[in-house]
């Protein structure tokens, strides 16, 4: 997960800056294509290093979606409905989360969907999940090829005729939808932005082709950096500083608790599961065939001798301690969290099992034979209740933001962005204190749903405020910088909150509550953009 966040962090800054240079549509097309390509590639690669490389660049591509699409969409909306429609756009974040959670819930636990081509290539169900999650990206690229560039951006770069044609097309489409096709599109005045001196164009005879390519890339990167630095110039300097504080605190608190909630639920499950462990001591087994599942058991000081057979079995959370296995056979064994500690194996045969060396802890193997040992990632979720439960919890947490999305969309242009931002963050911070009473799985899931439902309004209003506070020539760059900061805060929150699972509730609750309330109070100091025309 962290490698994807790293890619998104760099991608948000890069693609946001590029969108202010080459256009929203072109930047969005490229970044979504990069994401789709590497997402598909990651589902087929076998090496772990190459897989991380693909996920890094997949994150790099998708990182540009947020700053670019919000800038793009905001620049074709009327002022009166801008907040509402941007909030509806935010709902697709929730829809994407529901889609991913539902697909994970439906696909990953099905171990039977996997297949292998020899011992070198293995295709598991999670790879199907990666492919399915890349499909919306492909459809987005196809749809973008039929969409025009942002007319506001075209005006910014002096392409007035193209902007006029696009605005006329939007006007005519809207009038036909209203049943008024006879209305004619007219423009009484175009306010032309002051053009910033562009960097010199690279001539075709400037050195070799790779020299020209290198200079062009360096020039574009330098232009992105200059645009970023202008986000700290008058008149947006104060707004950038305040937005930095709000984005960081909201992301730190939200993503920190988002990773803490499932881990706490998993910790509660583990404690409850461990409390039901069965102990078997001093067993003496001879000439017996085990062909059933062993789960959540500890076997100590046992003797399994004289052709005892373990055939077509599943071991789930089973530990054998200080036991003797003599003249035994293990055949067609699948194990999960299973270990042999300080055991002795004599004249024992292992055939088609996943009992690798690391599962024999301080054990002695004398004259033992291994045939067709399955190595590598052999995790089986077959009939695994906990796997379904994890994805179901994530699905519920994502679905819980639906009411908050609807409320924020309907009220964004009525009560204002600042009221919704500050109120949502403060209420989210207060709701953290209810976590002290979460002593069961159902209570923690309820708290997760409440927290997500309250926080989503803050995210929606912050997205709207951000695009409205920056002028067109640095809107995507500013949004990209803040979104990159958001990912950095998310990684930091995941590390800090994740390290506190099972240790204490006080620190995560107080930390999340403090940063959310402080961020909400800073957000109330931002200027109101409800009636503001995009600069």
Q: What percent of the chain has pLDDT over 90?
A: 25
Quick check: 267 pLDDT over 80?
no
| Residue 73, token pair as written in the block | 């969409």
> Whole-angstrom Cα distance, residue 4 to residue 10?
10
Average confidence (pLDDT) over 334-342: 91
Q: How far is CA 487 from CA 254, 309, 452, 520, in A?
A: 11, 52, 18, 19
Q: Within 13 A of 244's CA, how many CA atoms are on the CB side?
A: 10
> Whole-angstrom Cα distance, residue 464 to residue 382?
44
> Whole-angstrom Cα distance, residue 135 to residue 142?
11
> Whole-angstrom Cα distance, residue 446 to residue 500?
21
How would DSSP label each residue in 370-409? EES---S-----TT-HHHHHHHHHHHHHHHTHHHHHHHHH
232 phi and psi angles, rounded to 5 deg? -110, 15
Question: Residues 161-174, buried b or exposed e (16+ Cβ, 10 A)?
Answer: eebbebbeeeeeee
Which of 120-124, 191-195, 250-254 is predicted least confidently?
A: 191-195
Q: What percent of the chain has pLDDT over 70?
A: 89
Q: Could you report the per-residue pLDDT of 431-485, keeping only the tens digit for each?
A: 888 877 766 777 777 887 888 888 889 999 999 999 989 888 888 999 999 999 9
Query: At what angle are helices 82-107 and 385-399 packed, to 10 degrees?
Result: 170
Q: What is the mean pLDDT of the chain?
A: 83
Top-level class of domain 278-371: mainly beta
> Whole-angstrom Cα distance, residue 37 to residue 79?
36
Coil, strand or helix at 440: coil
> Whole-angstrom Cα distance, residue 57 to residue 31?
10
Model pLDDT, residue 199: 46
Model pLDDT, residue 263: 73
> Whole-angstrom Cα distance, residue 251 to residue 480?
14
> Whole-angstrom Cα distance, residue 488 to residue 67?
16
Average confidence (pLDDT) over 130-135: 88
Instruction: Give the confidence band of 226 by pLDDT, cuts at 50, 70, 90.
Output: confident
β-pairing, 115-117 vs 121-123, is: antiparallel
> Whole-angstrom Cα distance, residue 427 to residue 456?
11
Q: Could you report the per-residue pLDDT of 379-434, keeping only the tens digit for each?
A: 444 445 555 666 677 777 778 888 888 888 888 888 888 899 999 999 988 888 88
CB 477 within 8 A of CB 228: yes
Q: Within 13 A of 473's CA, how many CA atoms are on the CB side?
A: 20
> Whole-angstrom Cα distance, residue 181 to residue 177?
8
Quick check: 321 pLDDT over 90?
yes
Q: How far is CA 120 from CA 46, 57, 164, 374, 454, in A?
A: 8, 25, 58, 11, 48
At residue 62's C-alpha, the angle toward residues 196 and 417, to 5°, is 70
Model pLDDT, residue 304: 94
Pick from 172-176, 273-277, 365-369, 370-374 the range whose average pLDDT is largest.
365-369
Q: Could you report the per-residue pLDDT of 482-495, keeping only the tens digit for each?
A: 999 998 898 888 88
- Which helix (H) or strand (E) segment holds residue 156: the answer is helix 151-156
In eight-state DSSP terms, residue 149 is: P
pTM: 0.75
Would you list the domain boundaries of the chain? Answer: 278-371
Residue in this structure with the two tokens 């089973």, named with its chain if needed: 318
Q: Within 13 A of 318's CA, how many CA atoms are on the CB side?
A: 15
Nearest CA among 472, 366, 457 for reference residue 412? 457
> Whole-angstrom Cα distance, residue 456 to residue 463?
11
Q: Could you report the per-residue pLDDT of 150-207, keeping only the tens digit for each?
A: 888 888 888 888 888 888 888 888 888 887 777 777 766 666 555 554 444 555 555 6
Q: Could you report the per-residue pLDDT of 277-315, keeping only the tens digit for each?
A: 999 999 999 989 998 889 999 999 999 998 899 999 999
Average confidence (pLDDT) over 223-246: 87
């Amino acid at each position: 997960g962290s490698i994807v966040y790293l890619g998104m962090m760099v991608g948000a800054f890069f693609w946001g800056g590029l969108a202010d240079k080459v256009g929203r549509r072109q930047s969005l097309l490229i970044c979504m294509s990069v994401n789709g390509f590497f997402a598909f590639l990651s589902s087929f690669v076998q090496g772990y290093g190459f897989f991380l490389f693909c996920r890094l660049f997949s994150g790099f591509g998708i990182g540009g979606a947020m700053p670019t699409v919000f800038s793009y969409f905001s620049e074709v909306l009327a002022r009166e409905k801008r907040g509402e429609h941007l909030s509806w756009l935010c709902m697709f974040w929730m829809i994407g989360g529901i889609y991913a959670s539902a697909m994970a819930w439906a696909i990953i636990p099905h171990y039977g969907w996997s297949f292998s081509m020899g011992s070198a290539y293995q295709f598991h169900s999670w790879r199907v999940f990666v492919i399915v999650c890349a499909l919306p990206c492909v459809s987005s690229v196809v749809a973008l090829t039929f969409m025009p560039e942002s007319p506001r951006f075209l005006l910014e770069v002096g392409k007035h005729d193209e902007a006029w044609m696009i605005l006329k097309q939007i006007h005519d489409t809207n009038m036909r939808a209203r049943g008024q096709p006879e209305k004619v599109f007219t423009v009484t005045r175009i306010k032309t932005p002051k053009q910033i001196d562009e960097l010199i164009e690279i001539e075709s005879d400037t050195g070799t082709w790779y020299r020209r390519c290198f200079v062009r890339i360096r020039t574009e990167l330098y232009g992105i950096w200059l645009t970023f630095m202008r986000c700290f110039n008058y008149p947006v300097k104060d707004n950038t500083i305040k937005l930095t504080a709000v984005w960081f605190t909201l992301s730190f608190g939200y993503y920190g608790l988002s990773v803490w909630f499932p881990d706490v639920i998993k910790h509660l499950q583990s404690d409850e599961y461990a409390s039901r462990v069965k102990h078997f001591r001093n067993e003496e087994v001879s000439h017996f065939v085990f062909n059933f599942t062993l789960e959540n058991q500890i076997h100590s000081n046992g003797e399994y001798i004289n052709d005892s057979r373990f055939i077509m079995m599943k071991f789930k959370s089973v530990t054998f301690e200080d036991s003797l296995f003599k003249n035994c056979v293990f055949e067609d064994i699948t194990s999960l969290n299973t270990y042999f500690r300080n055991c002795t194996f004599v004249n024992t045969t292992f055939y088609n099992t996943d009992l690798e060396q690391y599962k024999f802890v301080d054990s002695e193997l004398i004259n033992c034979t291994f045939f067709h040992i399955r190595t590598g990632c052999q995790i089986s979720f077959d009939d695994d209740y906990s796997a379904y439960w994890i994805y179901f919890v994530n699905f519920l947490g994502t679905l819980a933001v639906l009411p908050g999305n609807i409320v924020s969309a309907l009220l964004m242009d009525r009560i204002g962005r600042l009221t919704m931002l500050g109120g949502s963050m403060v209420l989210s911070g207060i709701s953290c204190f209810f976590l002290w009473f979460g002593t069961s799985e159902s209570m923690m899931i309820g708290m997760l749903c409440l927290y997500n439902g309250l926080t989503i309004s803050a995210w929606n209003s912050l997205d709207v405020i951000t695009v409205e506070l920056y002028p067109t020539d640095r809107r995507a760059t500013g949004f990209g910088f803040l979104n990159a900061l958001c990912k950095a805060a998310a990684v930091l929150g995941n590390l800090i909150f994740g390290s506190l699972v099972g240790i204490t509730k006080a620190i995560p609750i107080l930390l999340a509550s403090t940063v959310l309330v402080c961020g909400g109070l800073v957000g109330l100091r931002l200027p109101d953009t409800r009636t503001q025309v995009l600069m």
